[in-house]
Copies of this chain bind each other. A is one copy, B any other.
Amino acid sequence: MARWEPGTRERLQAAALELFVSQGFDETTASGIAAAAGVTERTFFRHFTDKREVLFGGQHVLAERFTAGVDAAPEDASPADLVSAALRGAGEFFPDDRRAWSRRRQAVIDAHPALQERELLKLAGLARDVAAAFADRGVPEPAASLAGQSCLTVFGVAFGLWIAEGETRPFAELASLVHGELARVASAPGR
């Protein structure tokens, strides 16, 4: 038998979301989360550099989905096609059975500017990762950065629609819709 229960990290994440939902972020202490997961405060800070980080565990998996989409695109794909490919990859991260959990998590984040800051930092990192994947496909700067950022723009708006109350369409459909809309508003001006 193991010396510790396995899955400490996951227990901490689950306990944290639970407490944030029920008492709010500010009212929840790191030591309270640790206690709920059966470990000491010190252990909490060994797994997560700060209190906010506990909500942002799966980012690298999402990044891989984005870039895997780009890497899998055909050789002759245009930058616009690559954006579509990245979004299709990201869509795999959000099957319908994840929607309820996403709503719950996002409600916590939306209620706390400190958590929004952390989320924005993670998303900015994602945009950089995607831009790097574009650059690997030969897209020059500044187009690669713009394309990476645009992927995240579409992603963000589509995600907001996806978790809206009553929405039932799958993520991929919404992302495709929003991408088309972006093509219109971002078109060349004055002609």
Contact = CB atoms under 8 A, between A and B. Distances in A.
A92 interface: no
A-B residue pairs, 7 tightest by C-beta: A186-B186, A120-B120, A117-B117, A80-B189, A183-B188, A79-B185, A147-B185
A149 interface: yes
A156 B143 CA distance: 13
Contacts of A150: 150, 153, 182, 185-186
Contact of A157 (B146, B153, B178, B185): B146
Nearest to A186: B186
Interface residues of A, number: 39
Given A150-B153, A182-B150, A190 B80 contact: yes
Interface of A: 78-81, 83-84, 113, 116-118, 120-121, 124, 139, 142-143, 145-147, 149-150, 153-154, 156-157, 161, 178-190
A142 B117 contact: no
Contacts of A182: 146, 150, 186
A130 to B, nearest CB: 12
A157 B150 CA distance: 12
Given A80-B186, A146-B186, 17 more contacts: A79-B184, A79-B185, A80-B187, A83-B185, A83-B189, A84-B189, A84-B190, A116-B124, A142-B157, A142-B161, A143-B181, A145-B157, A146-B178, A149-B156, A153-B153, A183-B188, A187-B187
Contacts of A143: 181, 184-185
